[in-house]
Amino acid sequence: MRADGPRAALEVVRAGALTTLQDLGRPGYAHLGVPRSGALDTGAYGLANRLLGNPPDASVLETTLDGVGLRALSPVTVAVTGAPCAVRVEGRAAAWGAPVRLRAGAVLEVGRAESGVRSYVAVRGGFAVPPVLGSRSTDLLSGLGPGVPAAGTVLPVGPAGPDPVCGADGLRVPGAPTELVLPLRLGPRADWFGPASIAALWRAEFRVSPASNRIGLRTEAGTRLVRSRGGELPSEGMVLGAVQVPPDGLPVVFLADHPVTGGYPVIGVIPVGPPLDAAAQARPGVPVRFTPCLRARAAAHETLGRASAK
């Protein structure tokens, strides 16, 4: 066991369009009005940490579309996963999806996503920023957690753990979706929509809207779902993967920074796991289809929905 240095740190030299610190988030505080937050693509996040032997909840950087530039202030080891992109160290090509050693003073350049949206930059030992309510995630909705890094921000690195153990199966990373197929469990407010709207939901092809963000994936250009009843719904609790239908009739899929309550009816919920990871990597314009979720299997850290069309 060896640390990468007593005062290991990385300095941000190029912040990119939106780079945030993320871990597994703050589940369990919704009753206090605190959102979940955390990495959007949990599969890519977990792989980045496994490549370096980090704990499964170590803090990483989540980039958006155009990557990030970092200078090592001490020798460190990093790994980049998620959206495929060019990785360079001091201008020379380096490995994506594998550990990369940086000497003190070396600049790591994580380039523009070639497909997908979000890349993950992990460092051996994790980013040791102060936790808030047990998490080092930046929550863009509530403002909790570390601030959004800017050029000049110095990010401390924690002590390294045991040498990493990552088998070949750990590198099976799904590509960015060219079509997003989301298994949906109807409810709790599916009764706010008539049979015609439910049938239209299964037939319609929506598209990912450019207005999507860490709060939710918005859709456009699909069949607009019509409510079967009038009136307003009192605000009620929201969960990760909830699919709200606002007055414009176009579904919104709640992602990690979603609000803890909402007043629009939730027509259904997408099980946590690979489908939502894919949603995190879907670019604007990608087709979106919803399919009935007929069965779901609980696992230790995720629920994987098995989708089947009726």
**If we measure between CA atoms, which residue out of 126, 10, 127, 156 comes closest to residue 73?**
10
Mean of per-residue pLDDT scores for the chain: 90
Q: Which domains does the chain have, with CATH numbers?
A: 9-171 (no CATH), 180-307 (2.40.100.10)
Give residue 169's pLDDT.
46
Residue 2 scores a pLDDT above 90: no
Q: Of all residues in the chain, what percent carry a pLDDT higher than 70?
A: 89
Task: Order the strands of the 20-22 sheet from edge to edge.
Answer: 20-22, 60-62, 119-123, 76-82, 100-102
Mean pLDDT of 261-285: 95
Strand partners, 227: 193
Predicted local distance difference test score (pLDDT) of residue 210: 97
Share of the chain above pLDDT 90, in %: 82
Q: What is the arithmetic mean of pLDDT over 58-84?
A: 97
pLDDT in tens, 245-267: 999 999 999 999 999 999 999 99
Distance, in Å, from the CA atom of 227 to the CA atom of 268, rounded to the nearest integer, reads: 14
Locate 138 and state its tokens: 């930046």
List pLDDT tens digits, range 115-168: 999 999 999 999 999 999 999 999 998 899 999 999 999 999 999 877 776 554
DSSP collapsed to 3 states, 149-162: CCCCCEEEECCCCC
pTM comes to 0.89
228 Rama sector, left if φ>0, alpha if ψ -120 to 50, beta otherwise: alpha
Look up residue 143 and give its amino acid: G
**In this structure, how many other beta carbons lie within 10 angstroms of the beta carbon of residue 262?**
18
Radius of gyration from C-alpha coordinates of the chain: 20
285: left (phi over 0), alpha (psi -120 to 50) or beta: left
223 pLDDT tier (thresholds 50, 70, 90): confident
Mean pLDDT value of segment 32-50: 95
Q: Give tens-digit pLDDT for 12-27.
A: 999 999 999 999 999 9
pLDDT (0 to 100) of residue 166: 58
Residues 281-308 pLDDT 10s: 999 999 999 999 865 433 323 323 322 3
Would you state the pLDDT for residue 307? 29
Looking at the predicted structure, is the pLDDT value of residue 310 above 80? no
pLDDT(80) > 80: yes
Q: What CA–CA distance (Å, rounded) separates 166 from 175?
A: 19
Statement: residue 3 has pLDDT above 50: no
